[in-house]
């Protein structure tokens, strides 16, 4: 399973509006507002990272008997654990994309690009680890 959609498209459209590359209304923020929103996004990414630090607890399932039904249950719960981690990664990506949009709206384009790169790197690292 790829990283699920948790609002990444909305964040990308907001970024496009902030950079002037999208159709429609431009998106602008005062620099201090953009920085405060970006800091909130950073906090969310950090909190989600802490939640993922115990990911092995939901993907290393054991205790079912070594029978076909037990093996099926083990696989099923392992898959659910991976889906949980995929979803947490998706929320992190979305937060970083919104951070990029907010920073771009505050005319902090270098920081916005760094946030976009961080989102791409985060997902790439997650998918490589699978």
For residues 44 and 115, the answer to whether their CB atoms sit within 8 Å is: no
Q: How confident is the model at residue 57 (pLDDT cuts 50, 70, 90)?
A: confident
- The more confidently predicted of residues 81 and 9 is 9
Percentage of the chain surpassing pLDDT 70? 98
Across the chain, mean pLDDT equals 91
Question: 94 pLDDT exceeds 90?
Answer: yes
For residues 38 and 115, the answer to whether their CB atoms sit within 8 Å is: yes
pLDDT of residue 2: 72
pLDDT of residue 62: 76
Q: How many CB atoms lie within 10 A of CB 31?
A: 12
Distance CA 26, CA 31 (A): 15
pLDDT of residue 13: 95
- pLDDT average, residue stretch 18-47: 95
């Amino acid at each position: 399973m790829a990283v699920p959609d948790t609002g990444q498209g909305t964040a990308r459209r907001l970024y496009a509006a902030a950079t002037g590359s999208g159709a429609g209304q431009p998106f602008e923020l005062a620099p201090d507002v953009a920085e405060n929103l970006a800091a909130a996004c950073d906090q969310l990414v950090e909190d989600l990272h802490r939640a993922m630090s115990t990911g092995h607890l939901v993907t290393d399932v054991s205790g079912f008997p070594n029978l076909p039904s037990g093996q099926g249950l083990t696989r099923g719960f392992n898959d659910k654990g991976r889906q949980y981690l995929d979803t947490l990664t998706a929320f992190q990506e979305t937060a970083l994309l919104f951070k990029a949009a907010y920073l771009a709206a505050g005319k902090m384009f270098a920081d916005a690009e760094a946030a976009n790169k961080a989102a791409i790197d985060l997902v790439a690292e997650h998918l490589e680890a699978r």
